[in-house]
Amino acid sequence: MTQQASPNWTYSQVRELFERSLPDLLFTAQGVHRQNFDPNLVQASTLLSVKTGACAEDCAYCSQSARYDTGLNPEALVDVDAVRGAARRAREAGALRLCMGAAWRGPKERDIEPLVAMVQAVKAEGLEACLSAGLLAEGQAQRLAEAGLDYFNHNLDTSPDFYSEVVSTRTYDERLETLERIRAAGMQVCCGGIIGMGESRDDRIELLRTLANLPVQPQSVPINRLIPIPGTPMEDVEALDPFEMVRTIAVARILLPRSYVRLSAGRDGMSDELQAMCFMAGANSMFFGDKLLTTDNPDTDHDLRLLQRLGMALEEREHACAELEP
């Protein structure tokens, strides 16, 4: 399935979607979802931290920032054998993609070759490879693409207006520039955000509108629910209304009809019923495995039981490949 150029969604159009009754919104989202995907299949990915902690950025939600005392022990870049083993276990569990996360502002030149080797190891195990490694300098995206990297993840996090409440060490424009480098290198874009950080509904509207109006819509859109980490500036943020999570997923599905919308961080604190509503709203991807970088995630057996209870199943590789065909 090819990704088309983005429409020009307006603020008022997106706000009208958010303000619909929940049954009406879910009905519309379900219709869009069924036009583009099998509503009974969920894509599974696994997330591996390949470099943990000691990050120079000041993202207010993050346990890995060196600026906050969160009790995290930093770890250096792992070796390629560890990545190869993680990829094999992910594939055996049913995942189609291994996503690697490196906690730094951006890779230095000396980091590119080890990252290339990791990408090649993941591909050799028959999985799609995704990397999240911060801002990319000129030429780095091309080298990763040549190594076979399928996706690069770089989230916008929130709206342009709320952004200053989240991070001060990188600008919104720098994030957009990295997205452009990913696209120009021919890789697919994984880009989403975090909700429940104290932002308003207007901020959620503008986040989704920005994603939908990118020159090419992201092929993968992770929607993270804030995990309030002790020691971070956001440790005491009031929890988001669960129905607002469902609304956000539904609007994302309508605005981004051909994107995989992924339930990402925060699932460990979501009930089975809330997750089921998110699938009904158009979410069709999730992370497998009991760890997401440094935070907890439901274990794989629990996720498989949930899908079985819902009469749903994991997407298999042959189906995923067919979805990506023009």
Q: Which residues are catalytic?
A: 55, 59, 62, 99, 130, 190, 262
d(CA 87, CA 94): 11
Burial of 126 (0-12, 13-18, 19+ CB in 10 A): exposed
Show the tokens assigned to 15: 């706000």
Strand, helix or coil at 311? Answer: coil
3 state DSSP class of 128: strand
Determine what percent of the chain falls in helix, strand and coil, rounding each to the nearest 5: 40, 20, 40
Q: Are 81 and 70 in contact (CB under 8 A)?
A: no
DSSP secondary structure code for residue 305 in this structure: H
Half-sphere exposure of 220 (CA within 13 A, CB side): 32
User: Do 192 and 155 contact (CB within 8 A), yes or no?
Assistant: yes
What is d(CA 261, CA 250) in angstroms, rounded to the nearest whole number?
A: 10
Report the b/e string of 289-311 with b at 16+ CB within 10 A. beebbbeebbebeebbebbeeee
Q: Decide: residue 164, CB within 10 A, 0-12 exposed, 13-18 middle, 19+ buried.
A: exposed
* CA distance linking residue 288 with residue 89, whole number of Å: 11
